[in-house]
Amino acid sequence: MSIPSSTRSTPIDPKFANSVGIVTPQTMHFDTPLALECNRTLPEFDLVYETYGELNADKSNAVLICHALSGSHHAAGWHSAEDEKPGWWDNMIGPGKAIDTTRYFVVCLNNIGSCHGSTGPTTPVPESSADGTPGKPYGPDFPLITIKDWVKTQAMLSDRLGIQVWHAVVGGSMGGMQALQWSVDYPERLKRCVIIASTPKLSAQNIAFNEVARQSILSDPDFNQGRYLEAGTYPRRGLILARMVGHITYLTEDAMKSKFGRDLKSGKFMYGYDVEFQVESYLRYQGERFSKNFDANTYLLMTKALDYFDPTRDYVSDDTLSDLEALKQTFKHTRCQFLVVSFTTDWRFAPARSQEIVDALMANDKQVSYVNVDAPHGHDSFLFDIPRYMGAIKGFLNAPFLSQKQQTATDVNTDAKSRTQESLT
Amino acid sequence: MRLDHELAKQWISPHSRVLDLGCGDGSLLEQMQHSLGVTGYGLELDEEHINQGIAKGLNIIEQDLNDGLARFADNSFDTVVMARALQAVKSPDTLLLDMLRVGREAIITFPNFAHWQNRLHLGLKGLMPVSEALPYEWYNTPNIHLCTFKDFEKLCADNDIDIINRFAVTDSSPASKKYSPFMASLIRKAPNLLADVAIYRVTKSK
């Protein structure tokens, strides 16, 4: 099929300088049932996506962007001239930027289970579904989705777009997990894999934070067992709390200190439980804002997808293996070149977690580069315009591709035993 | 390309696995990859250099050599190369042994502190030497563990490290190429005095 060109347009406003300009999301409908890891099936689904740049004749310049927990298909550009903000990765994607839309055809899709347009808990249940009541929102009847499921749907979209091999698959945080999963599930279908601020699997502490977030939502009386849309309620407070705790993990102590310190809103203690410290005000504001644009069931589903992520599960049968050994086995059949990026102050997915990925790849003689970017913004750093970070991505994507040479154990020259022992002054 | 690179390359087997410590912008690794088809990784700490290496399509890993090579398995490389970084690490002795744990051979180059120019600088002028091979002032030098041909060979002897080859480089040219045969033989005979850069190829004693 031909690639629709409706998502491209010429910049018309000064704020669109260095931008892909006005973009329009598109929808791809899939009416073949999708078997999910949880052993349930989605009878049909929609994927909403955006594209930037032009696909070249041999379809070799396509770059796939995978979004993180709160992200969407709207990675770059503007939906209208009135928009206050561009797409979530507009500093990364655009003409002349790290992911250069004058060179690459960039695709970003919204994952299923999300609430930004692709089929998810807020979508009406189709007649063909075995779950839920047709016509009513899926709500809690929407199946749990895994990173692997997402990657499967992304591959289905690739097929429809006629992209057999991605020039690169790129993602940060949860998006990095998808990129990693691509490299092991579809080794022939990508040349480069960029894994940013991510981890090979969540730690107990990561899961613990997610559980607090989930319990905040689940224990909100307005949650109504997830049928809040039907009940006409909304677990706003739960979602705010969930986001507040999540947000703390994205920042750093230093960043909070420099931004808020112990500053008080009114300059003095009020001896009560209303907002007093600036940091409280900020967190509540962020939570409020988030709760207006996000779906509670989606938040639950996304955090579970994070918790379940463990690419070794399908590739390692021996559960006595160490984490490194298991990851090493998992990466055995990958064929792409990797770039792994971490940020020094990220404690959610700390540099050590990225290094686990790097070490497992190197233990397999895989092609990998690793940068640990010094940045003050914690986990959120991957969304910031940091020259060194952008430079590494740009260089990696544009570099000549060195095809994987077969490793052959070469005997080291042993004939050079002719040691010359001259006298030293 | 740098001369110690050119020389080091002669000791690298085609299609072997190489680890380059302090790989800079990756120029040695790139050369070896193109001309010898080696595979491997470069370790570097300088941000700009790392990005330059990545942009060449090389495998560059951001790592401080002072953190050691624990992430690499025993004998996972044929050769571990370290060009002009030995003198800048915290524990050159530990790192040297670690290089020979992960690699079967190591190639090391370093500025020779006993070069006659350095001796003149210190002995007559009474100033810390500054030269082409040691282009820093004493207060801003990253070179915290400078040594000489003799020092290095003593370190090897003390740690059961065999020296397979040694090259003495003078004024950034190999002794045998630039000078008359007589001068070249002089430099070979007295490298500690006449050569400003040392290049060694070593292995662990069996």
- Tell me what pLDDT residue A420 has: 33
- Tell me what pLDDT residue B3 has: 61
DSSP B13: P
- Tell me what pLDDT residue A10 has: 54
Helix (H) or strand (E) holding A41: strand A41-42
Told to judge if A158 belongs to the known catalytic residues of this protein, a careful annotator would answer: no
pLDDT at A415 over 50: no
Mean pLDDT within A282-310? 96
Residues in chain B with CB shorter than 8 Å from the CB of A391 are: 51
Told to judge if A173 belongs to the known catalytic residues of this protein, a careful annotator would answer: yes
- Tell me what pLDDT residue A167 has: 98
Q: Torsions phi, psi of A226, nearest 5?
A: 90, -5
Helix-strand-coil split of chain A, %, nearest 5: 35, 15, 50
pLDDT at B189 over 50: yes
Q: Torsions phi, psi of A157, nearest 5?
A: -65, -40
Would you call B88 helix, strand, or coil by DSSP? helix
- Give B180 or A50, the one with higher predicted confidence: A50
- Give A239 or A267, the one with higher predicted confidence: A239
| Burial category of B50 from C-beta neighbours within 10 Å (exposed 0-12, middle 13-18, buried 19 and up) | buried
Give tens-digit pLDDT for A3-20: 444 445 554 566 778 899
Mean pLDDT within A76-97? 95
Closest listed residue to residue B108, CA positions, set B159, B73, B178: B159
Mean pLDDT within A39-68? 97
Given a contact cutoff of 8 angstroms between Cβ atoms, the answer to whether A149 and A44 are in contact is no
Closest listed residue to residue A367, CA positions, set B20, B181, B180, B42: B42
- pLDDT band at residue A425 using 50, 70 and 90 as cut-offs: very low
Interface of A with B (CB under 8 A): 337, 339, 355, 358-359, 362-363, 365, 367-372, 374, 388, 391-392, 394-396, 398-402, 405, 407-408, 410-413, 416-417, 419-425
Closest listed residue to residue B26, CA positions, set B3, B63, B1: B1
pLDDT at A422 over 50: no
Q: Which domains does chain B have, with CATH numbers?
A: 3-204 (3.40.50.150)
- Tell me what pLDDT residue A17 has: 80
- pLDDT band at residue B4 using 50, 70 and 90 as cut-offs: low
- Tell me what pLDDT residue B174 has: 55
- Give B124 or A18, the one with higher predicted confidence: B124
CA distance A419 to chain B (A): 5
CB contact under 8 A, A419 and B163: yes
Alpha helices in A233-386 (DSSP H): 236-250, 253-259, 278-293, 296-308, 323-331, 351-363
Give tens-digit pLDDT for A152-185: 999 999 999 999 999 999 999 999 999 999 999 9
| Given A74, A354, A379, A380, the catalytic residue | A379
Mean pLDDT within A20-40? 96
- pLDDT band at residue B173 using 50, 70 and 90 as cut-offs: low
Given a contact cutoff of 8 angstroms between Cβ atoms, the answer to whether B139 and B157 are in contact is no
- Tell me what pLDDT residue B177 has: 59
Rounded CA-CA distance A206/B84 in Å is 42
Give tens-digit pLDDT for A352-371: 999 999 999 999 999 999 99
Rounded CA-CA distance B100/B78 in Å is 10
Rounded CA-CA distance A49/A27 in Å is 6
- Tell me what pLDDT residue A6 has: 46
pLDDT at A413 over 50: no
Q: How many CA atoms lie within 13 A of A21 on its CB side?
A: 13
CB contact under 8 A, A410 and B16: yes
- pLDDT band at residue A130 using 50, 70 and 90 as cut-offs: confident
Pairing of strands B103-111, B39-44: unpaired
For residue A319, how many other CB atoms are within 10 A of its CB? Answer: 8
The answer for residues whose C-beta is within 8 angstroms of residue A209's C-beta and 6 or more apart is A245, A246, A249
- Tell me what pLDDT residue B170 has: 78
Token digits of residue A179 = 């990129």
Would you call A218 helix, strand, or coil by DSSP? helix
Nearest CA in chain B to A373: B47
**3-class SS string, A152-193:** HHHHHHHHHHCCCCECEEEEECHHHHHHHHHHHHCHHHECEE
For residue B2, how many other CB atoms are within 10 A of its CB? Answer: 17
- Tell me what pLDDT residue A424 has: 47
For testing contact with chain A, the best of B23, B30, B34, B54 (most A CBs within 10 A)? B54
- Give B190 or A345, the one with higher predicted confidence: A345
Least confident piece of the model among A16-20, A66-70, A132-136, A247-251:
A16-20
Residue labelled with tokens 């040297």? B96
- pLDDT band at residue A332 using 50, 70 and 90 as cut-offs: very high
Rounded CA-CA distance A37/A18 in Å is 41
Rounded CA-CA distance A225/A216 in Å is 13
Helix (H) or strand (E) holding B184: helix B181-189
CB contact under 8 A, B57 and A399: yes
Told to judge if A346 belongs to the known catalytic residues of this protein, a careful annotator would answer: yes
The angle at the Cα of A67, spanning A63 to A70, to the nearest 5 degrees, equals 160
pLDDT at A50 over 50: yes
Q: Which of residues 25-54 of B touch A (CB under 8 A)?
A: 33, 37, 39, 41, 47, 50-54
pLDDT at A405 over 50: no
Mean pLDDT within A305-312? 98
Token digits of residue A408 = 């052959």
Rounded CA-CA distance A276/A265 in Å is 6
Angle between helix axes A296-308 and A174-185 (nearest 10 degrees) is: 50
Give tens-digit pLDDT for A194-224: 999 999 999 999 999 999 999 999 999 999 9
Rounded CA-CA distance A352/A226 in Å is 37
Buried b (16+ CB within 10 A) or exposed e, B169-193: bbbeebbeeebeeeebeebbebbbb
Would you call B148 helix, strand, or coil by DSSP? coil
Token digits of residue B86 = 């030995």
Closest listed residue to residue A288, CA positions, set A232, A249, A238, A213: A238
Rounded CA-CA distance B134/A399 in Å is 33
- Give A199 or A81, the one with higher predicted confidence: A199
Interface membership of B189 toward A (CB under 8 Å): yes
Rounded CA-CA distance A64/A189 in Å is 11
State pTM to two decimals: 0.92
Mean pLDDT within B102-128? 94
Mean pLDDT within A298-326? 94
CA distance A298 to chain B (A): 37
pLDDT at B119 over 60: yes
Q: What is the CA radius of gyration of chain A?
A: 23
In angstroms, how far is CA B21 from the centroid of its own chain?
9
Least confident piece of the model among A78-92, A225-239, A396-410, B91-105:
A396-410
Given a contact cutoff of 8 angstroms between Cβ atoms, the answer to whether A167 and A397 are in contact is yes
Helix (H) or strand (E) holding A391: helix A387-398
Would you call B114 helix, strand, or coil by DSSP? coil
- Tell me what pLDDT residue A403 has: 54
DSSP per-residue codes, A91-129 = TTEETTSSEETTT-EEEEEPPTT-SSSSSSTTSBBPTT-
| Given A72, A173, A291, A381, the catalytic residue | A173
Least confident piece of the model among A177-181, A298-302, B126-130, B168-172:
B168-172
Rounded CA-CA distance B18/A365 in Å is 11
Token digits of residue A323 = 């984490």
Would you call A274 helix, strand, or coil by DSSP? coil
Token digits of residue B62 = 């951001």
What's the mean per-residue pLDDT of chain A?
Answer: 91
